Amino acid sequence: MKSRVLVTVLAALALTATTAAPASAHPGRTPEDLRGLAHKTGVRIGSAVAVDPLTAEADYRRVLRREFTSVTAENAMKWESVEPERGRYTWEGADAVVDFARHNRQAVRGHTLVWHNQLPAWLTEGTFTDEELRGILRDHITTQVRRYRGKVGSWDVVNEVFNEDGTLRSSLWLTRLGPGYIADAFRWAHKADPRAKLYVNDYNLEWIGPKSDAALELVKGLKAEGVPVHGVGFQGHLSLEYGFPGDFADNMRRFTALGLETAITEIDVRMHLPVTEEKLAAQADYYRQALSACLSVRRCAEFTVWGFTDRHSWIPGWFEGQGAACLFDEALNRKPAYHSLLALGRRR
């Protein structure tokens, strides 16, 4: 049951949504915002959403509503969030994201159904037989996908299953259930919502190499077995410390040639602090190249940033001395990277 506070917040979100302006898009005109760019290019432009600022910060909601045609729950749909105790589901955060999207004409990407990380202690520390664990995984996928059937258009079904050398990650799922858990997860998700698009999602797939080769072989094998896999998500956590993956577009085409969708699902571009004009210009070029790669691939369906503002970025907590990775700064001012994306709309 939702708390009275959260119900009040959701009602407020619904009311404020009715004032949202239509997306700015017109043939031959430069889009005025990212929502307009999305409509002009036909590619969903989205952002990961953190629940705390969504419910507490009006300026955060205003920008999220104005700029994006798609949203992804940053943490609210992960297993430790939705089922912290076995059989006790806490859907409030995920519902807040989905309800906001519905009121503001935004698609929803579900993230994530099967991951090695952010699992509840009752699961990782439990003494389950292999068959019990398989049933727990099946029930989790089925329950979550059914709840949002018709509301979540695409799911990251399996997330980060590869090591950098292309071998499968040694996770709870692989160790106990074997590699067949991947196909099972897709079949269970498809049964729960046959219309949802189902994705493999991972980081460092942007370059052609052992990891992306392994992902390619995985989806080939799944399709050969009749497993309902529909797309591959390239997370795109980039750094100015490393060069831009110049073979990004060609790499995506390897997957679309199989009849799959591709999506850039979690992009950010971090830098070593302090921020300088030169670093912001380089960051803008990385973002521009990434969206250009997506736009050049016929079945690239989505370009989602992993948080749109440096105010709530995950980067400083994980990469010491680095940050400023998003399209908007802490005060929600547009950065050069934002304008570099809009500029692509002038050419289409």
Distances (CA, A) of 6 to 14, 57, 104: 12, 14, 18
Q: What is the pLDDT of residue 150?
A: 97
* pLDDT tens-place string over residues 240-284: 999 999 999 999 999 999 999 999 999 999 999 999 999 999 999
Angle between the 248-256 and 277-296 helix axes, to the nearest 10 degrees? 30
Helix (H) or strand (E) holding 234: strand 231-234
* Among 264, 268, 265, CA closest to 313: 268
Range of the domain at 69: 4-22+31-347
Whole-number Å distance between alpha carbons of 196 and 151: 9
* pLDDT tens-place string over residues 33-90: 999 999 999 999 999 999 999 999 999 999 999 999 999 999 999 999 999 999 999 9
Q: Is 160 assigned a catalytic role?
A: yes
* Tokens of residue 149, six digits: 């059937």
Phi and psi (nearest 5°) for 244?
A: -70, 140
**Bridge pairing between strands 261-272 and 322-323:** antiparallel
Find the catalytic residue in 74, 92, 266, 302.
Answer: 266
* pLDDT > 90 in the chain, percent: 90
* Tokens of residue 104, six digits: 């503001």
Q: First vs last Cα of the chain: how many Å apart?
A: 47
Which residues in 80-113 are b (16+ Cβ under 10 Å) and which e? Answer: bbbbeeeeeeebbbbbbbbbbbebbebbbbbbbb
Find the catalytic residue in 74, 83, 160, 206.
Answer: 160
Whole-number Å distance between alpha carbons of 53 and 249: 34
Count of other CB atoms within 10 angstroms of residue 330: 13
pLDDT at position 347 over 70: no
* Among 293, 283, 278, CA closest to 324: 283
Evaluate whether 316 touches 323 at the Cβ level (below 8 Å).
yes
Q: Is 241 assigned a catalytic role?
A: no
pLDDT level of residue 346 (50, 70, 90 thresholds): confident
pLDDT level of residue 321 (50, 70, 90 thresholds): very high
* Among 289, 220, 295, CA closest to 255: 220
The burial class, CB within 10 Å (0-12 / 13-18 / 19+), for 75 is middle
Phi and psi (nearest 5°) for 179?
A: -65, -15
* pLDDT tens-place string over residues 98-157: 999 999 999 999 999 999 999 999 999 999 999 999 999 999 999 999 999 999 999 999
Whole-number Å distance between alpha carbons of 70 and 42: 12
Mean model confidence pLDDT for the chain:
93
Contacts of 46 (CB under 8 A, 6+ apart): 68, 69, 70, 71, 72, 106, 107, 109, 302, 303, 304, 305
Count of domains in the chain? 1
* Among 11, 5, 31, 35, CA closest to 21: 35
CATH of the domain at 136: 3.20.20.80
